[in-house]
Amino acid sequence: MNLYSRTLSTFLFSAALAATALPANQAEASSKPDITVERLEFPVTLSDGNTYNVVGHLYYNKHYAYRPLQVLVHGLTYTSQYWDIPSFGGQDYSYARYMAKEGYAVLALDMLGAGESDRPDGDFLNLAETAESVHQIIGDLRTHGGVVKRPFSKIALVGHSNGAIISTYVQSTYNDADVLVNTGLAFTPHPIPVTPEAISALLQTPYIAIPTEIRTEIFYDAANADPALIAFDNAQIASTYSRGQFLDLLAVSSDPSLSGIGGVTSPVLIQFGETDELQPAAYVDSDAALYTSAKSRTTAIVPDAGHILNGHFGAPIGWEQIDCWIHHNMGW
């Protein structure tokens, strides 16, 4: 599909890309009949010698043979439903279904310790182990005779927030995907709107839950989000996450090199929400500079969107940006 044949806003974003890129098994019926959703289980073996199951939900329109695949990695306190939020007030919030309608196959993973996936020891499950699980899954997706019926030859790895740290670690360590999309994560060290006392309180258990009032305050720009969606998020999507992952998140926040960011060689899209107070868009240029080995680095801002990009009114603008960029960089 021609990158420049989309809507006017996408066309304008395409022009911006040219200017800013820096060289360097059970199916379930979906609510919309044209999208099929399959629940898949991927066995992964980690360094403790144990095998764990990672659950993923594969979205596609009619069939997925020979289509490019997006592998979606959610952030802390979320599950794969971050990528498939239901509609509120007549607006769609499902990234996965949008991309499936645009012609992709989309695999939204429940990270180990979240959603329907297995729950290893919370101190064992750190960044490296989580990245290893994603690496094994992508290897399976590229292999004949794997979990999916047909292997995928083109894969985009898309991470949000802590999922962007995981995806960056995967890509720098294993070079698994053709392109990398990181959303809602500023690798540039910066202050966060959470007190040290609150962080200390979170670390008291092997699996951590963020209180509703803190999630609402740091994840949403209330002026640009539906209150019903925020309530649904806190009641239905909010999940726990492992202490090992959280400690590694804190470490990367102080030293971004621990994510392997300088070792990413593929094209990278870096996307921020304009009003994100947790991971501010002001750091977009300094973040781009951290990808010192990337083939190209492209930045994008989603207007009037806080940290949870898929949960704000401007979400479709961000989806168009990503769709347009992947088309351009994966050549399909």
**pLDDT tens, 113-151?**
999 999 999 999 999 999 999 999 999 999 999 999 899
Q: Bin 175: left if φ > 0, else alpha if -120 < ψ < 50, else beta.
A: left
CA–CA distances in Å: residue 31 to residues 92, 94, 168, 169, 207: 12, 11, 33, 35, 33
**Is the pLDDT score of 200 beyond 60?**
yes
**Is the pLDDT score of 1 beyond 90?**
no
Write out pLDDT tens, residues 223-233.
999 999 999 99
Place of tokens 């949000």: 160
Per-residue model confidence (pLDDT) at position 14: 45
Per-residue model confidence (pLDDT) at position 65: 76
Residues 232-241, mean pLDDT to the nearest whole number: 96
d(CA 213, CA 219): 10
Residue type, 266: S
pLDDT-derived band at 62, boundaries 50, 70, 90: confident
Per-residue model confidence (pLDDT) at position 63: 79
Q: Could you state, in order of their start, the residue ranges of all structural domains in the chain?
A: 3-330
Residues 62-81, mean pLDDT to the nearest whole number: 92
Residues 320-325, mean pLDDT to the nearest whole number: 98
3-330 CATH: 3.40.50.1820
CA 250, 274, 268: angle at the middle one, nearest 5?
Answer: 65
Residues 267-291, mean pLDDT to the nearest whole number: 98
d(CA 119, CA 115): 9
Cα 93 from chain centre: 15
